[in-house]
Structures are given as structure tokens and as C-alpha cells.
Amino acid sequence: MIVATIGDLETLDPAWAYDTASGTAIFNIYETLIFYEGEYVDRFVPMLATSWEISEDGLVYTFTIRKGVKFHEGGDLTPEDVVYSLQRALIQDRAGGPIWMMLDPIFGVHSIEELAEKLGSDEAVYEALQRAIRAEGDKVIITLDHPYGPFIQILAGTWASIVDKEWVIAQGGWDGSANWRKWHDPAAEASELFNKANGTGPFKLEAWVPGEYISFVRNENYWRTPAKLARAVIKVVPEWGTRLAMFQAGDADIIAVPRQYVAQMDELVAQGKARMMGPFPSSTCQSGFFNFYVTEGSPFMPLLGGEPKPDLLADIHLRRAINYAFDIDTYIKEAWLGEAWQLPGVIPQGRLGYDPTQPVYNYDLEKAEAELRQAWGGELWKKGFRLTITYNQGNLARKFAAEMLERALESFNQKRQAEGLRGMFVIEVQDLPWPTYLKYMDAKQLAMFFIGWLEDYAHPDNWVKPYMHSTGAYAMNQRFDTVKNVEFTPVYATWLPSKTYDNLQALFDELIEMASRETDFAKAELLYKELNRLAHEWAINVAHIQLLARHYEQVWVRGWYYNPAYPGEYFYVLWKG
């Protein structure tokens, strides 16, 4: 089976990888304690664990480890391998990596450095690891710091893959001692598992030539029935024309098709020369983000009446106006060929807390004008303002969205001039190279920016946290704490008391942490609905859409199905007929 894709992987180390290309290779080579049941993102089947139990208080997870499983290099799977794998991931915790997902529920911290500071020494961290993850007979027991609803989903991710302890140590990996600093936060190439692999999965690594291809061969000693495919290859082919030619010549079985090229593939589908599956609701969203307080010295500092106004977007009327001024139906039709859904709040369809009856912002210039007239007590309408909207270089869909807002908001200048008002509404659209874009975003210097989110684990926590929590990937750059004295009256979670919070961020944080720790499913659902409602009411984003996905393959490909939690092709279920 040959797959032609766009980008190369970064690493073969499960604890380091946080990109889909690396994840695709890893989840074909390695395995986790549990795995997704077919197309479901919220149902799980035993994998390297034969069964598991969760204590009534939600703190203790006990896994019975499967016997008779061998690693590709011949070693036997043991409970000690499982303990080592998870502990190794936690101590590695590379900057910008995925391990925060396990550190939060297990230790109540967001980095291993934070835990070391909290406990006072590296030795204390090691001792805490031994208490939190341990083996007893044929079982592995994980004890959490607090109940955490999505923990089982997190354990299905590639970052929780199980490695062979003795083999990794022989490659120069962590020796399992209290002296873990040497193996903490390595560069990709510095990891001992950067370009080698030894898992228990259905395929073994054959070769990885960076920038060209990675190939796999069937694991003939697999503990399940061996795969039907003898070999699989993922080729890196950035140019669309080359990928298309490969497909037409039969030299690629599955290819990556950017949305702007689907018409060419659909022609082949109509001729019976290709198969299209979808569109499916994906686990990817695109959004515009508001920074409530732009850091001083930013080249993108907003202006109100010609004067710097770092908190320009902290005014809810301006944020609502921008939402009403955005023609989201045209955006979805033109930029995404109609294959996207507008969302109320931040939680996508298919996740707990999504409520299709919740309101959305529709394109309405009259409402936009009414909100603009109220912004900053009427000063914004009188004096005018300047706002820079940024996006990453080369992303045409985000450019389209930014330019749509530019035209809509600047269209009010004609009416303002007719009223004899000076000053203008000026929207500047600027693209930035990706590394520069991320640098400015992390420094909280972007005023308004477009970016996307790909789900890490299939749970609403992985949406409310990045979009709303103070430690979230995007929320941490939005400064929700700028809005003070926030009154909260619950609508869904009616058992909660009405309360005044010091700031908007404090409200979001408390509800998010409450929801993630709630063991009562019905209550958790209402808390997530509450958060989704608040995201909409406070207009924390604009143009928040869930993308639909298409899959194109040769007509002889068999067995493929869509699971949005998969990073890429799962070769074990595929064959050619």
C-alpha cells in the first residue's frame, strides 16, 4: 500500500511526537494499553491491556497487561515495560510536546519542571513517579492527582505508546533512575528513538529516509492475526501535480488532496477511476482569536482615535460587532467549498456539550453597526479605530476571512463620514511566516489572529482547555483576565450558585476544572454546555468552524473507514482487492 502525502514526520519517538505525520508512523509500529473501537472516538477496546478498572472516586486506574506479546526485536512485553514507558514520557516532557496531557491528571501540573519546583528535588520527582505509576503482578496501577474525565481517551494517544524498557536503555535512553534530567526536553534528533523503533504493533519499521519516504513491513509474529498487507510506504510528495500523476498511473493507492483540488479528483471519481469517501465531520476547527490586551511594544498595537489602545478588543460590543460583520456562509462556501459547519461556542459536533440549539452569530450589518456604536461608550464610532488582523503566510482560507472582515468593517466609514465624523475604521491584513507568527502569538503581541486546532483526544476538555483555560494553547494569548468583575448565573448547570468573579478568566478556569473532574456524566455534559454558552455570549472568537474531511483512494483499496482520532492511515485494517 502506497500513500502519497504532503509533509514528512518529525520523529519516531512516541513521547516526543506531536504532529500527525509522526503519529501515523508511530501508531502503525507501537501500541497503547487501549485502542479506539473502529470508527468510534468514545469507545475503546483492549490492546496491550486485556481489561481495566476505574475506582469509584475516579482516581485509580488498574490495567491487566496482556501476556504473550513480543516486541519487534524479540523482547517480551511486561508490566515493567508499561510503567517505564509512561514514566519515560513524563520525564522527557519536551517543550511544546504532548505530555502535558498526562502530567495534568497524574500530578496536577503542566510540566515536569513545575513538579520538580513543587516537590523540591529531582529525587522527590522520581519517588512521585514510582507512587503514581507502578506494577503489581500482571497489573499496572496509575493513581491520579484528581478525577479526570478524559484520561482514558488520553491513554489511547500515540504519546502513551509502550516501548521495550531494556531495548530503549540499550539505545542510550533513560536508565530508570532518579537522575532523569539528562533525558528531559531533548531536541528531536537527540532522542534515542528519533529514527529507530521497536514496538509491538502490526508493522515494523523498514526504513525512514527523511524528506523522501518511510516504509514498513508486516510483523509476522504479531499477537493478533498478522496484517493482510505485506508492506506499506508513505511517500513525501509536496507537489500536487506529482501526487495526482502518481495516482493516475497507479503508483499511489491513497493521496492527500487539498480542498482546492477536489474537483480534479471528483472527475476521476465520476469516471470510476477513484473512490471518494466523505465528507466526514473532522476533529479540526478554524477560528479567529481576539487578544483582549496586546502586549506593550507590539507592532500590531490597536489604536482608538489614533491613540494606542492595548485593550481595544476587551470591549464586548466590538467583538460582537466583528462577529455580526463576518459573512460566515460565504466564507464556508468560498473558502471551504461548503464543507464546514459553523459552531455555537467552541465545542465541535460529536463531542459532549455540543448543543445545536445554542445560538450563533449570523451575518447582520445592522446589528454590527448597533454594536459598533456602543463600543467604548460610543467613542469608537466617533473617533475610529485601527486593527491588524494576521494570518500565517500562504494560508489562503485565513487570508480570505481576514479580507472579508476588512471590507465589512471599513464599509461603515461611508456612513460615519456622512455624519461628519473624523477618523476612520482601518483594518490592516498582514501575513507572517509561520515561525514568526507563532513567536508573536506566544508573546501576546497579535491583536487578532486566525489559526486552527486539531483535537488531541476525543473529549470536550480538549476544546474548552485550549480555547478558554488560562494554560490553553490559544486562551493563554488572549488575556481574558482583562475583563473584570464578571457576574455568572448558570443556565444549564443550575446546581451552581450565581457568583461574581474577579475576572472572566477566573470564571472559565473554575468551570473547566470542575467539568474535567466531574465523574457524573450528566453533570459533566451540562458544565460543558455552560462553557459553550459562555464562549458564545462573551464572543471570544469569530468564524469558528468545524471542517469536513474527504478521503480519496484507488478503487482496489479495501477496509478503510473514518476515525477522526486517527492521525493517518491505519494499515492493519487495509488490503488491496
Query: Helices 79-92 & 122-132, crossing angle to 10 degrees?
Result: 140
Q: Which of 469, 479, 536 is nearest to 508 (CA)?
A: 469
Joined together, the cell numbers standing for residue 54 give: 476505574
As a whole number of angstroms, the distance between CA 51 and CA 91 comes to 27
As a whole number of angstroms, the distance between CA 412 and CA 385 comes to 12
**Which 3 state secondary structure label does DSSP give 141?**
strand
As a whole number of angstroms, the distance between CA 51 and CA 61 comes to 11
Q: How confident is the model at residue 259 (pLDDT cuts 50, 70, 90)?
A: confident
- Long-range contact pairs involving 39-46 (C-beta distance under 8 Å, separation at least 24): 39/561, 39/562, 39/563, 40/563, 41/153, 41/283, 41/350, 41/458, 41/563, 41/564, 41/565, 42/153, 42/458, 44/152, 44/156
Beta strands 44-46 and 49-54, pairing class:
unpaired
For the segment 161-169, the average pLDDT, to the nearest whole number, is 98
Beta strands 557-558 and 213-218, pairing class:
unpaired
For the segment 463-483, the average pLDDT, to the nearest whole number, is 95
Joined together, the cell numbers standing for residue 448 give: 487578532
Joined together, the cell numbers standing for residue 410 give: 471599513
Residue 250 — φ and ψ, nearest 5°?
A: 80, 15
Residue 115 — φ and ψ, nearest 5°?
A: -65, -40
162 and 48 Cβ atoms separated by less than 8 Å: yes
| Domain coordinates in residue numbering, the chain | 9-199, 285-547
Beta bridge partners of 576: 557
**Which 3 state secondary structure label does DSSP give 450?**
strand
Residue 7: predicted pLDDT: 86
What angle is formed at CA 52 by the lines to CA 47 and CA 54, rounded to 5 degrees? 145
Residue 392: predicted pLDDT: 93
For the segment 436-452, the average pLDDT, to the nearest whole number, is 94
pLDDT beyond 90 at 109: yes
* Cis bond before residue 279 (omega within 30° of 0): yes
Residue 337 vs residue 61, higher pLDDT? 61
Query: In one letter, which amino acid is 518?
Result: E
Q: Which of 521, 456, 511 is nearest to 54 (CA)?
A: 521
The pTM assigned to this predicted structure is 0.87
Query: In one letter, which amino acid is 564?
Result: P
Secondary structure percentages of the chain, helix, strand, coil, to 5: 35, 20, 40
Burial class from Cβ neighbours inside 10 Å (0-12, 13-18, 19+) for residue 124 reads: middle
Pick the CATH number of 9-199 from 3.40.1360.10, 3.20.10.10, 3.40.50.970, 3.90.76.10: 3.90.76.10
The sign one gets for the Cα dihedral 540, 543, 547, 548 is positive
Residue 434: predicted pLDDT: 84
Burial 264-299, CB ≥16 within 10 A → b, else e: ebeebeeeeebbbeebbbbbbbbbbbbbbbbbeebe
The CATH number given to 285-547 is 3.10.105.10
Write out the DSSP string of 24-75. HHHHHH---SEEE-TT-SS-EEESSEEEEEE-TTS-EEEEEEPSS-B-TTSP
Query: In one letter, which amino acid is 356?
Result: P
Query: In one letter, which amino acid is 545?
Result: I
Q: What is the pLDDT of residues 24-58, one digit of tens each?
A: 999 999 999 999 999 998 899 999 999 999 999 99
Q: How confident is the model at residue 113 (pLDDT cuts 50, 70, 90)?
A: very high
Q: What is the pLDDT of residues 425-435, one digit of tens each?
A: 999 999 999 88
Residue 71: predicted pLDDT: 98
Q: What is the pLDDT of residues 500-513, one digit of tens each?
A: 999 999 999 999 99
As a whole number of angstroms, the distance between CA 326 and CA 368 comes to 9
| Arithmetic mean of pLDDT over the chain | 96
Q: Which of 380, 356, 358 is nearest to 368 (CA)?
A: 380
